[in-house]
């Protein structure tokens, strides 16, 4: 995601952390110590050694680890941005590096491995980028038989039937061992569906059933997967245009495919070049009955671009509410992330910022938008309430004038309009924070928020834990690695 175009809203440091604690205390060699000519924030885009990271304990550098916090944070993101003097053209095209942060008994242990896709294996052998991609032309001699030949498996992760799946948006999920992070190969949900795309934003109902999309132009496949991981149903719908679809939404009764007016009529690498912004078409929402995919209706909202929704729910009268980070137009061009990868990013002052927005879809007629005016990305909700009425959305907020990253974690309460924020300051780059319900609890507020923060001062990555009910009080605890790792996209808690 290109966060370089946001305006700065963060000011000062949040309360609750001392300067010493924020400075951290990394020890040992930092693999990722910045090259002398690179700015400090380039640690967020620095290529990781081919073998990834062996398991290594992190140090508790602030606070006290919550006694009941036990589980594993898995995350995915691009880890190969450079071969020699050749840089990746687009942030979305770097090979997936899957992280495992095992937390328990007050300890945190980090490890990471690259997903061994065909693209990764070929490019590692050649020591250069070969495959075409989202923003990459690629080597014309590189053979492409299917989308999995260019699959970077770098966007998200999910657990399914005891396996960890590394997700991309235009090809198969890749199966990985959840402990060793060894790649086992592409996931096929049915023998006749090999290579079928599996979007990187699947939706899991509170009872465990998973829904997801397979986007192929204006035709979209819909997966329904049982709690045991078996495919229960797969159907196709026509969404009317080959729009860019990275995420979508789901309520207890409906699937909502949001067709933004950013569309393509051809598929030639680099793919991003072929997308055109057509605001006159508006943002169309296709609402599909989960029990009968042939029962569909359309609603329309003002033109907006988006990458991420939080989730959706239905009011008692059938009104659908979807929270999302909406942009007035797409912010990600063919050079998305390129300047950051090359260490050439400079602050920009244009107004292509996201806005945490509630999309309100009545049972008939057009949708309308409730805009908070709050810059945000990576919205997250309590997984116990996915698709159900709720109050809270956790987001990253606060642009920085000094780095191409975000500085803050916020929780917005849709019921009272209050936003609770902690600003880490300008020498941090904050990543997605996930809700982790406290054991034995039932309410959204009774959760922790867990996520990584790139600590530019310590040249190390921190894993921070907040109490979701008191974010502005600052982290409950921080573990710090002896090294940093590059910024990623999405994760899951298992
Ligand atoms: Fe995403």
For the segment 408-428, what is each residue's pLDDT rounded down to a tens digit? Answer: 999 999 999 999 999 999 999
Element at 453 (helix H, strand E): strand 447-455
**CA 346 to centroid of ligand 1, rounded, Å:** 24
The answer to whether the CB of 367 falls within 8 A of the CB of 300 is: yes
Among the residue ranges 23-27, 241-245, 259-263, 435-439, the one predicted with the least confidence is 23-27
Residue whose token pair is 């020890």 = 27
The answer to whether the CB of 424 falls within 8 A of the CB of 453 is: yes
The answer to whether the CB of 94 falls within 8 A of the CB of 119 is: no
**CA 244 to centroid of ligand 1, rounded, Å:** 12
What values do phi and psi take at 384, rounded to 5?
-70, -20
Among the residue ranges 216-225, 338-347, 355-364, 423-432, the one predicted with the least confidence is 338-347
**CA 379 to centroid of ligand 1, rounded, Å:** 10
Among the residue ranges 35-44, 106-115, 325-334, 444-453, the one predicted with the least confidence is 325-334
Res. 11: pLDDT tops 50 = no
Better pLDDT: 134 or 292? 292
| All residues at 6 or more sequence positions from 211 whose CB lies less than 8 Å from its CB, including other chains | 202, 203, 205, 222, 223, 224, 225, 250, 255, 290
pLDDT at 28: 33
**Order of strands, edge to edge, in the sheet holding 354-361?**
305-314, 320-327, 354-361, 368-371
Confidence class of residue 12 from pLDDT cuts 50, 70 and 90? very low
**CA 246 to centroid of ligand 1, rounded, Å:** 6
**CA 7 to centroid of ligand 1, rounded, Å:** 21
**CA 377 to centroid of ligand 1, rounded, Å:** 10
**CA 249 to centroid of ligand 1, rounded, Å:** 13
**CA 201 to centroid of ligand 1, rounded, Å:** 7
**CA 29 to centroid of ligand 1, rounded, Å:** 32
**CA 183 to centroid of ligand 1, rounded, Å:** 22
For the segment 164-183, what is each residue's pLDDT rounded down to a tens digit? Answer: 999 999 999 999 999 999 99
Confidence class of residue 35 from pLDDT cuts 50, 70 and 90? low
Among the residue ranges 29-33, 206-210, 229-233, 457-461, the one predicted with the least confidence is 29-33
**CA 222 to centroid of ligand 1, rounded, Å:** 18
Confidence class of residue 350 from pLDDT cuts 50, 70 and 90? low
**CA 307 to centroid of ligand 1, rounded, Å:** 6
State how far the Cα of 492 lies from the Cα of 453, in Å rounded to an integer.
16
Res. 9: pLDDT tops 50 = no
Tell me what percent of the residues of the chain surpass a pLDDT of 70: 91
Q: Where are the beta strands (DSSP E) in 217-353?
A: 219-225, 231-238, 249-250, 254-259, 262-263, 276-277, 283-289, 292-301, 305-314, 320-327
**CA 197 to centroid of ligand 1, rounded, Å:** 15
State how far the Cα of 128 lies from the Cα of 131, in Å rounded to an integer.
10
**CA 232 to centroid of ligand 1, rounded, Å:** 25
The answer to whether the CB of 256 falls within 8 A of the CB of 212 is: no
pLDDT at 333: 56
Query: What are the tokens at 185?
Result: 């190969």
Alpha carbon dihedral 445, 447, 452, 454, in 10-degree steps, equals 40
Tell me what percent of the residues of the chain surpass a pLDDT of 90: 83
**CA 28 to centroid of ligand 1, rounded, Å:** 33
Residue whose token pair is 């795309």 = 197
pLDDT at 36: 54
**CA 309 to centroid of ligand 1, rounded, Å:** 9
**CA 490 to centroid of ligand 1, rounded, Å:** 6
Residue 256 gets the label, from left (phi > 0), alpha (psi -120 to 50) or beta, of beta
Confidence class of residue 127 from pLDDT cuts 50, 70 and 90? very high
- How large is the greatest C-alpha to C-alpha distance in the chain, in angstroms? 61
Among the residue ranges 209-213, 330-334, 406-410, the one predicted with the least confidence is 330-334
**CA 76 to centroid of ligand 1, rounded, Å:** 10
Distances in whole angstroms, Cα of residue 238 to Cα of each of 112, 195, 288, 294, 298? 39, 20, 11, 11, 12
**CA 367 to centroid of ligand 1, rounded, Å:** 23
Q: With H, G, I as helix, E, B as strand and everything else as coil, classify residue 427.
A: coil
**CA 16 to centroid of ligand 1, rounded, Å:** 31
Res. 263: pLDDT tops 90 = yes
**CA 330 to centroid of ligand 1, rounded, Å:** 14
For the segment 436-482, what is each residue's pLDDT rounded down to a tens digit? Answer: 999 999 999 999 999 999 999 999 999 999 999 999 999 999 999 99
**CA 468 to centroid of ligand 1, rounded, Å:** 22
Rounded average pLDDT over 95-123: 98
Alpha carbon dihedral 340, 344, 347, 349, in 10-degree steps, equals -90
**CA 378 to centroid of ligand 1, rounded, Å:** 7
**CA 337 to centroid of ligand 1, rounded, Å:** 15
**CA 145 to centroid of ligand 1, rounded, Å:** 26
The answer to whether the CB of 405 falls within 8 A of the CB of 17 is: no
**CA 247 to centroid of ligand 1, rounded, Å:** 7
Confidence class of residue 4 from pLDDT cuts 50, 70 and 90? very low
Res. 87: pLDDT tops 80 = yes
State how far the Cα of 70 lies from the Cα of 302, in Å rounded to an integer.
43
What pTM was estimated for this model as a whole? 0.92
Element at 166 (helix H, strand E): strand 163-167
pLDDT at 1: 31
């Amino acid at each position: 995601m290109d966060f370089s175009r946001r305006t700065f809203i963060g000011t000062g440091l949040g309360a609750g952390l001392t300067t010493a604690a924020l400075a951290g205390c990394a020890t040992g060699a930092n693999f990722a110590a910045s090259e002398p000519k690179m700015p400090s924030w380039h640690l967020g885009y620095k290529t990781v050694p081919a073998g990834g990271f062996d398991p290594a304990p992190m140090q508790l550098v602030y606070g006290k680890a919550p006694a009941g916090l036990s589980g594993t944070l898995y995350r995915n993101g691009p880890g190969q941005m450079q071969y020699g003097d050749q840089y990746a053209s687009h942030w979305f095209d770097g090979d997936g590096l899957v992280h495992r942060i095992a937390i328990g008994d007050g300890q945190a242990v980090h490890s990471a491995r690259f997903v061994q896709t065909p693209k990764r294996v070929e490019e590692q052998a050649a020591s250069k980028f070969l495959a075409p991609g989202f923003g990459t032309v690629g080597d014309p001699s590189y053979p492409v038989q299917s989308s999995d030949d260019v699959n970077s498996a770098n966007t998200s992760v999910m657990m399914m039937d005891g396996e960890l799946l590394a997700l991309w948006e235009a090809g198969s999920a890749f199966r990985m061992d959840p402990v060793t992070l060894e790649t086992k190969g592409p996931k096929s949900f049915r023998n006749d569906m090999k290579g079928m795309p599996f979007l990187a934003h699947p939706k899991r109902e509170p009872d465990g059933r998973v829904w997801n999309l397979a986007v192929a132009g204006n035709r979209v496949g819909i997966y329904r997967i049982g709690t045991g991981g078996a495919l229960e149903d797969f159907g196709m719908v026509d969404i009317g245009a080959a729009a860019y679809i990275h995420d979508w939404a789901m309520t207890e009764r409906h699937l909502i495919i949001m067709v933004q007016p950013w569309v393509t009529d051809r598929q030639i690498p680099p793919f991003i070049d072929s997308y055109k912004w057509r605001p006159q078409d508006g943002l169309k929402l296709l609402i599909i009955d989960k029990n009968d995919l042939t029962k569909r209706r359309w609603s329309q909202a003002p033109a907006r671009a988006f990458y991420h929704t939080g989730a959706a729910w239905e009011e008692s009268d059938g009104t659908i509410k979807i929270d999302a980070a909406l942009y007035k137009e797409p912010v990600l061009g063919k050079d998305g992330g390129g300047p950051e990868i090359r260490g050439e990013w400079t602050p920009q002052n244009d107004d292509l910022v996201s806005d945490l927005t509630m999309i309100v879809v009545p049972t008939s007629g057009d949708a309308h938008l409730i805009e908070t005016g709050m810059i945000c990305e990576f919205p997250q909700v309590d997984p116990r309430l996915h698709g159900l009425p709720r109050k809270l959305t956790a987001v990253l907020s606060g642009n920085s004038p000094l780095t191409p990253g975000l500085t803050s974690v916020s929780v917005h309460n849709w019921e009272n309009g209050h936003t609770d924020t902690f600003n880490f300051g300008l020498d941090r780059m904050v990543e997605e924070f996930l809700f982790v319900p406290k054991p034995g609890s039932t309410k959204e507020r009774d959760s922790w928020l867990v996520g990584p923060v790139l600590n530019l001062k310590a040249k190390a990555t921190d894993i921070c834990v907040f109490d979701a009910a008191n974010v502005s009080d600052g982290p409950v605890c921080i573990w710090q690695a002896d090294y940093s790792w590059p910024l990623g996209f999405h994760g899951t808690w298992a």
